[in-house]
Structure 1
């Protein structure tokens, strides 16, 4: 069962948001200043309109009235100009912040330990990288600047209303408690609701991804109905989560509407009553009613965009949650050699089920070790610990007296590399695919690496040679060719230790035999650990480790273990009579194929 990546707390989200905006103080001040100036220009209109109404009532000269109209038109034009530049400044700030968020998210994702990615599952990470990034993009581009404009306008309109007459601020006291109470009710429930909604969509993505990736298995085992039921259950959970957040909005929005419509009605009625008793002038009443009416727009913006802010905050919390799992960007200690040691190593995928129990093992530089045992004994888990993919739950795995867990990812891969039957060809040229581990490597070294794994012949036969675009949408490579590309990457990475976990197991026999020549070039001169699900490689190893029930029960050379007549001897006798051991495989070993042989 996959374990979702963690989610950052609300305080972490607020602290990170403040830190991001502090990186752009000039742009932030410009955006706020222009929005304040635009709001101030908008405030002149109601006051001038009130003076105009009052001037008409008092029959002031037409020249004075015309001057008021021109002044009013001038402020409207000024407001339009300032508003345009305020939106541009806010948009630039939002784009800059969004670019920073995306870059930091990508930098965190690529430093995630492989074990974390595997345990989290592809659905959770994929949803964070797509749906959450899109939600955050909308929030930063639109919700943040619109909310900032609304808050600035709201404060200035209230100040202007008080300046007209403090009496007109009294009706606001009616709507304020309704607004505050409703918003507090919403904000207490919305964050958890949106986190649950996003998590539900992660499950939908996870289930669909598994179904697509395992489509052949689903079809072969006729498990289509079960996968449909799984998808229906995930969609049902997502529907319930979204229905809950919709319910919150349907309660909150009418409360907001009431909170600003009620003061407008009260202002108009009480203002008229005060005007009839000569407490306020007609101009003051006109300006006050327009100011209260102006409160509707910022409050509408707040009610509309605060919901997006909650969505964005939930998405940011999920994106920041990756930080807790990302490998720290530290230099780390320098190993004093290439000797690998395991001391008292224990490991568990789940806290209640330990897989490896107290393993002690030393690997000398240049040694060839075969790890054998029945399926489920813990061989592959041991190999992943040796490669630093997983870290022990107890004990230590060191290289040159330095813990593998203390090495940054790029340094770790220069020490130990895991080779499996799984590989990936990225979209791009063949040269870019080979040079992934060292992007700036000269072309001559790339060709040398391809030549070392016997791939240069077919590479030169490609339409554009190493410049041929491969991967999704490009020229497809056969499984054997893709594996040779992966091995050429290892030549460039130049690790001193290789952990081989059935690197050719999924290839057809002819492709596997051809690829073993490539594999021989990679393993030459290095420490090699071969996870031998079959026993082809055990005979040629310097030592053989037998893993049973998560423990190394036998350790020695092939001949020593046969003489001991223990578990390894039983496995060897069983393999000797297995149909897999055909004259063809015998011939492969007799021909002097290098260790390991599959």
Structure 2
């Protein structure tokens, strides 16, 4: 007999690619309870309508049992007209109520799914920026796509159908108990079989589905990272290694997929067997009771029909409970962000001044491995500081600390003597902004894209911001102007235009300090030169910390800080550092040949 066993590798391995947490059982229960409370009126209506549908469906077995009992009693005339009329009315009512149940269930599911999406988005954007940045593209993409897709079916159908199945089964058993109490006990004959099978299944299913979901996230992460860094992969000839990694992730995911399929292939045949056992036990026990005179034939007929009707609600409960095992894992991954403390900065903390200082800062991405070592730097208001050094020296990391994306492991980064790590992310963004190579055009109008920086900005201010970055020319040429739909499905903007929109947002947000991480390095030379002219106008009157991957950016800076191996080894003006003959001088000579 073919048998699938759990994969022989550590199930936690795929989860190692995930940095955002997975919600614990208490978090999932609390959120599920919150959703039910939000929609308790819709749940009450759904259950009430379903109860009416079940009661209408039970009319047929009672009418048929009554007819059989009359025949068994020797009746020669039957009220067939009245019986058929009652059955027709009950059938019509059942049809109407079932239709209402389906409509109410789908509506309720869509409302809960919308709440879940909104809650995840709102909670995610409130997380500290460093948490989201470390999470990476793959994990976030997997949660907002794969997990939402899995939950969509559960929210639309599983939750309403599970409630329907429980009410349905409960009312049928209650009807059976009222009609023929001994037959209600015969239903329990199949209970041990169902209990054993369900305990076996549900002890294994949650962890298996969690590992399956983690495997899916691992595949998404490997693919997303490879695509995002495609040029780097090609230049370093890492293609084969990335293919091998993707193959390994896919194999891990497929192994868990096969294992969960094996679990279902055991459970469902047992459930079908239990249905047969219920019906057979009702007929056999009921037959004996009829022969003994403890039940009449009408009661047995009604009881057998009600027992047969139990097949569907029990199947619904087990089927959708199984679906909820998959959904529970996805829900746990989505509500896991609730277990991350939101940015607990003091919203009332305001900097008294614009000088930025880093004092003896140490920082690392992994515990015990520091990238920056006792770094100290002062950035006076209105000055331009360039961070230069070899690749991997820690320039971008230091820039992100100065921008408030990360908090130092030790030491302090302060703006006007107010520590950035103690300020809320919203407060930090009012004063400091990071400008890098990444730019994003959101789906929506050009106006909506610009107002992300300042929601109350008037159209005149939007056009002024576009003019500052030399984007008003092409923007005014658009047929619908600021109402033009951009992003996926709308107008496709060039990388330079997308970066101009990002710079226009900066003009609207108006932070006094900017951290630049080569905002034009990914553009072609001509577009980069044009954008640098726009950027120069944005920088006027602001404090600028420029992470200079290309040394011509550093030439005109007021102060150049040379970063090597996570330390600042030189500090001074361009001419001073060239004359000193140190590390900067060597970098400059190598840059100019």
**Structure 1 and Structure 2 fold alike (TM over 0.5):** yes
In the alignment, does 2:298 pair up with 1:319?
Answer: no
Distance in 1 between residues matched to 2:482 and 2:161, nearest whole Å: 50
In the alignment, does 2:94 pair up with 1:79?
Answer: yes
- 1:220 is displaced (CA, Å) by 5.4
2:12 alignment partner in structure 1: none
Distance in 2 between residues matched to 1:492 and 1:283, nearest whole Å: 80
Of 503, 511, 516, which aligns to 1:495?
511
In the alignment, does 2:539 pair up with 1:527?
Answer: no
Distance in 1 between residues matched to 2:104 and 2:528, nearest whole Å: 60
1:135-185 Cα shifts (integer Å, max 9, x gaps):
111101111111111111111211222222332123222211221222122
The secondary structure found in structure 1 opposite 2:373 is: strand
Question: CA 1:550 to 1:166, structure 2 compared with 1: closer, same or farther past 3 Å?
Answer: same
- 1:72 is displaced (CA, Å) by 3.4
The secondary structure found in structure 1 opposite 2:372 is: strand
2:454/2:508 contact within 8 Å kept: yes
1:573 alignment partner in structure 2: 585
Once the two structures are overlaid, the 10-residue window that deviates more, 426-435 or 332-341, is 426-435
Distance in 2 between residues matched to 1:359 and 1:475, nearest whole Å: 45
In the alignment, does 2:98 pair up with 1:88?
Answer: no
The secondary structure found in structure 2 opposite 1:547 is: strand
1:499/1:531 contact within 8 Å kept: yes
Scaled by the length of structure 2, the TM-score of the pair is: 0.90
Aligned counterparts, 1:308-457, within 5 A = 308-325=323-340, 327-328=342-343, 332-337=347-352, 338-457=354-473
Question: CA 1:250 to 1:411, structure 2 compared with 1: closer, same or farther past 3 Å?
Answer: same
Once the two structures are overlaid, the 10-residue window that deviates more, 69-78 or 300-309, is 69-78
2:55 alignment partner in structure 1: 40
Once the two structures are overlaid, the 10-residue window that deviates more, 217-226 or 451-460, is 217-226
Distance in 2 between residues matched to 1:356 and 1:160, nearest whole Å: 73
Question: CA 1:159 to 1:545, structure 2 compared with 1: closer, same or farther past 3 Å?
Answer: same
2:130/2:405 contact within 8 Å kept: yes
2:534 alignment partner in structure 1: 518
- 1:221 is displaced (CA, Å) by 5.3
2:8 alignment partner in structure 1: none
1:423/1:483 contact within 8 Å kept: yes
Question: CA 1:542 to 1:13, structure 2 compared with 1: closer, same or farther past 3 Å?
Answer: same
Distance in 2 between residues matched to 1:270 and 1:296, nearest whole Å: 18
Distance in 2 between residues matched to 1:448 and 1:404, nearest whole Å: 31
2:121 alignment partner in structure 1: 106
Of 46, 54, 57, which aligns to 1:31?
46
Distance in 2 between residues matched to 1:571 and 1:203, nearest whole Å: 41
1:354-405 Cα shifts (integer Å, max 9, x gaps):
1012223333322322222222221110001111122222333232343323
Distance in 2 between residues matched to 1:3 and 1:27, nearest whole Å: 36
In the alignment, does 2:260 pair up with 1:245?
Answer: yes
Of 144, 147, 158, which aligns to 1:129?
144
Question: CA 1:260 to 1:222, structure 2 compared with 1: closer, same or farther past 3 Å?
Answer: same
2:551/2:588 contact within 8 Å kept: no
Question: CA 1:201 to 1:149, structure 2 compared with 1: closer, same or farther past 3 Å?
Answer: same
Distance in 2 between residues matched to 1:239 and 1:455, nearest whole Å: 49
How many aligned residue pairs are there? 577
2:515/2:546 contact within 8 Å kept: yes
1:584 alignment partner in structure 2: none
Of 69, 77, 85, which aligns to 1:70?
85
Distance in 1 between residues matched to 2:304 and 2:564, nearest whole Å: 84
1:385/1:397 contact within 8 Å kept: yes
Contiguous gaps of at least 5 residues in structure 1: 582-598
Scaled by the length of structure 1, the TM-score of the pair is: 0.89
Pairwise CA RMSD of aligned residues?
Answer: 2.6
In the alignment, does 2:226 pair up with 1:211?
Answer: yes
The secondary structure found in structure 1 opposite 2:209 is: helix
